[in-house]
Structure 1
Amino acid sequence: MRFLSTRVRFHYSWIIASVVFLSLLAAAGMRSTPGVLLVPLEHEFHWSPATVSLAVSINLVFYGLSGPFVAAIMERFGIRRVMVIALLLIAMAAGATIYMREPWQLDLLWGLLVGLATGAIASVLGTIVANRWFVKRRGLVIGLFSASNAAGQLVFLPLLASLAVSFGWRSAALVTAAAALVVVPLVAIFMRERPQDIGLTPYGSDHVESEAAAVAQNPFKTALQGLMLGLRTPDFWLLAGSFFICGATTNGLIGTHLIPASMDHGIAEVTAASMLALIGIFDLIGTTISGWLSDRIDNRWLLCWYYGLRGCSLLLLPYALSSSYLSLAVFIVFYGLDWVATVPPTARLATELFGARNAGVVYGWIFASHQLGAASAAFSAGLVRTWLGSYQVSFISAGLLCLCASGMVIRIGRRPRMGQQVVSDILVRSDAPVVDGIS
């Protein structure tokens, strides 16, 4: 069915972008829930911070590792089908957590199942949709998709924290499940695979892109081919290594432990959740601007600045928590503007290096390293808190890691001709699709 003519000013790609944004927003709210539940679960079941942090770590590992395989599965079976199944799985697993009594049940439900399902509705999805539906404004769209993480925090965190304090943590889990169910019909009704399916060209393009409608290849094999393509390219290691640090210093450390760290310093849970939501507000601004800038400025230098500023803000955090609210406000502004501002330039660099057709799977592996970093930080920070009684060592270590990442990213593309030749040779030998973005 032809929904819109290519001559109509409003392009259907923006409807697709809106549906994906709402799905990513809901998934971000679900991923932020463990930060609110950390202390209530410790109090009710007498579990240590390390025990609860292990479940969060499992969630982050499977959230990341599912990315490249989900990208391949989406190519094989379709985006809409995968999104609907993932949202239903999130609702089922989150709803079932109200009956848990043992740590292994938390590991299974919120760690494994929710981790796998939210991994299907993550940055990899945004990259695939942006590459299929947009030629112009692609960086801006990726920035908006990345900003959904901040918007999810803004919408869900204060609400979930209030519910956990007033009615218990189970009410927060049920709201999370309900949010997933609300998004399902929107995806089922409005989501489409490609512009060509409804007689359109991608936004900003005057011709139909030469892209196969489906790939009849084993998704597992496709994902592994993408990994091999990346492992033989030095720039992949720089992108993956810096993104490992990105995950460790965002989702893993601050997203999981800022609320309990604030409570250690006498800040109420709802207030701490509101602080994290404020970070989300500034992240929404910063990531959207980052997407706009990634269309115009060398993405390596953007990443260099982002990691450097994040490192400085994390080094400030232990002092800010122990001092005035003014210091905390400075941290919230500078860290918030930088929360996931790294995603648009990282995704664009992956597309430029490996081509739009391969970017989904290869970026999936880069994003997997992000979540491995997040998982490492989530568990290690909980362990350090159990051993030393504070998060100070974790915050300072994270700040220093960001400064290291700032130096790593500036080396990306230092020998572009050699890197492009390596990618081309690998694609020829592996019979992989032709890379569009490499000239």
Structure 2
Amino acid sequence: MPNKSIHYAWIVAAVTFLVLLIGAGIRATPGVLILPLQQEFGWSNAQISGAIAINILLYGLVGPFAVALMERFGLRATVCAALGLLSVGVGLTIFMTAPWQLTLLWGLVVGLGSGMVAMVLGATVAERWFVQRRGLILGLLTASSATGQLVFLPLLAQLVAWQGWRAVSLTVALLALLLVPLVALLLRDRPVDLGLPPYGGDALVPAVNKHRNPVARALRALGTGFLSRDFWLLGGSFFICGASTNGLIGTHLITACGDYNIPEVRAAGLLAMMGVFDFFGTTGSGWLTDRFDSRLLLFWYYALRGLSLLYLPFAFDGSFYGLSIFAVFYGLDWIATVPPTIRLAEQSFGRENAAVMFGWIAALHQVGGAFAAWVAGTLRTQTGSYFSAFLSAGLMCFLAAILVAFIGSGRALPDAKRSRRLMPETGSLAENG
């Protein structure tokens, strides 16, 4: 029975926070395995980066289908299945002896599992369970996802140094497995299942049709996106977001530090520092999203990120101080883009469709991440330096700042109406009351 003094939405949010935290940490684990795998097997940076690129790509592409699965089978069943897949996929990596096995397990299996417990899960929970404080919840859940990628890295890097990379694989596989009973016990699909309105709402919100084909639902949403200029502006800016964060910095910063003889554990500490500041930056972004124009927020986020990336190549001066400045500044902006991006998707496509549409926008985020992970690794192999990768990413962020300025342009309401015509069976809260 739901607690009478605490709305059950907060319990759902807390469980989701933990799932996103652990799931993101698992997905980011290959960042600390690049050097150990190179040393043990002699695999090139390009080979390992290729597997990571597949992981990042699937992490995004699975998103819209994961939303449809959550609508069809419920949050609890979908998340438990994802955690089981992650546990099996990561656990089997201890038996790897060839690059194709790395691609299959860390790339394909872990990519599929982590994509089901990615940013779209946070968006789905926020849209279903909250009317008030939705921006804040989006900020908190998004922060957990990004912080999980970063905060666990120094711990995992230290574990690599003490016990080897196989101990890391077993540890994160066990973490995923231990989450399954907690999710099964506490996670619930929608407030109406407990006879509750969403937090801050005053009426029960009926569930959507659970008998829809999940694949058809996701593809229909993609068709809607193809007809919307705002979808491409949001997706294009989010492509650059992914390229400049988890694709480049999340994957390659530790290796780039190694080029300047900065120890792996110390470099992973930089990512942990980013994770701490990201938590405050992204949570603050959610609070700001409840109060200010999301386009203006995105403009500044991307412009400031571009400046920080242009600074980064000059921060490798042999001192930890210069990189620490980058870590603090960049961490505050790491993934602060998510709450305003989800808000703009909601304004364009309607609240009930926001999660699945954001799933496709987030897919482009991961395409950008995969592209940057592969290109940066290839450039490093060919030129011996990450300089051109950092410079290009900084310039791309300035382009993203320009793109977001054109989102909406007074057409958000027509876009939402068009979305309801193309996805009539989903409706929106405006229609459903």
* Shift in CA distance, 133/95, structure 1 to aligned 2, threshold 3 Å: same
What is the CA distance between 1:352 and its match in structure 2? 1.5
Letter of the structure 2 residue corresponding to residue 181 of structure 1: L
Normalising by structure 2, what TM-score?
Answer: 0.97
**CA displacement at 1:218 relative to structure 2:** 0.8
Letter in 2 for 1:424: K
Q: 1:437 to 1:63 in 2, by over 3 A?
A: farther
Residues 107 and 189 (structure 1 numbering): CA distance in 2 closer, same or farther, change over 3 Å? Answer: same
Return the match for 1:327 from 322, 326, 332: 322
Q: Distance in 2 between matches of 1:347 and 1:422?
A: 15
- Tell whether the 8 Å contact from 2:31 to 2:254 is kept in structure 1 after alignment: yes
Match of 2:41 in 1: 45
Which runs of structure 2 are paired with 1:309-388 in the superposition (5 Å)? 309-388=304-383
Q: Which residue of 2 aligns with 1:3?
A: 2
1:80 and 2:79 matched: no
Render the CA deviation track for 1:380-418: whole Å, top value 9, x for unaligned: 0000000000101000000000011011101111131xx
Residues 297-333 of structure 1: per-residue CA shift (max 9 Å, x gap) = 1000000000001000000000001353222121111
Q: Distance in 1 between matches of 2:278 and 2:39?
A: 31
Structure 2 matches for 1:8-47, cutoff 5 A?
8=5, 10-47=6-43
What amino acid maps onto 2:162 in structure 1? S
Partner of residue 65, structure 1:
61
SS at match of 1:321: coil
Q: CA offset at residue 431 of structure 1?
A: 3.4
CA shift, 1:236, in A, is: 0.6
Q: 1:230 to 1:437 in 2, by over 3 A?
A: farther
Q: 2:265 — aligned with what?
A: 270
Query: How far did 1:430 drift?
Result: 5.1
Report SS of the residue matched to 2:336: coil
Q: What's the offset of the Cα at 1:222? A: 0.3
Deviations 1:29-75, CA, capped at 9 Å, x for gaps: 10120100011111111011000000000001111110001111110
Letter in 2 for 1:202: P
Deviation at residue 434 of structure 1 after TM alignment: 2.3
Give yes or no for contact 2:309–2:394 (8 Å, CA) kept in 1: yes
1:56-205 map, 5 Å = 56-205=52-201
- The secondary structure found in structure 1 opposite 2:248 is helix
Out of 388, 392, 397, the residue aligned to residue 393 of structure 1 is: 388
Q: Give me the whole-angstrom Cα distance separating, in 1, the residues matched to 2:415 and 2:147.
A: 39
Map 1:219-298 onto structure 2 (within 5 A): 219-298=214-293
Report if the CA contact (8 A) 1:232-1:422 is conserved: no
Q: RMSD of the alignment, in Å? A: 1.5
* Distance in 1 (alpha carbons) for counterparts of 2:189 and 2:120: 15
Say whether residues 1:300 and 2:295 are aligned partners: yes
In the TM superposition, what whole-angstrom CA distance separates every residue of 1:97-145 from its partner, at most 9, and x where no partner exists? Answer: 0001111100000000100100000110100110110000000001000
The letter for the 1-side match of 2:320 is Y
2:426 aligns to what? 433
Conserved 8 A contact 1:128-1:360:
yes
* Runs ≥4 residues deviating over 4 A: none
Tell me the matched-pair count: 432
Deviations along 1:83-103, one digit per CA (max 9) or x if unpaired, are 001001101010100001111
C-alpha change, 1:425 and 1:144, in structure 2 (3 Å) is closer
Listed as ranges, the gaps of 5+ residues in structure 2 are: none
Q: Structure 1 unaligned runs (5+)? A: none
Equivalents in 1 of 2:314, 2:51: separation in Å?
29
Q: CA deviation at 1:436?
A: 3.5
Shift of 1:177: 0.3
TM-score (norm 1): 0.96
**Residue type at the aligned position of 1:338:** D
Q: Distance in 2 between matches of 1:24 and 1:152?
A: 7
- Could you tell me which amino acid in structure 1 is paired with residue 249 of structure 2? I
| Deviation at residue 359 of structure 1 after TM alignment | 0.9
CA distance in structure 2 between the partners assigned to 1:206 and 1:435 by the alignment: 16
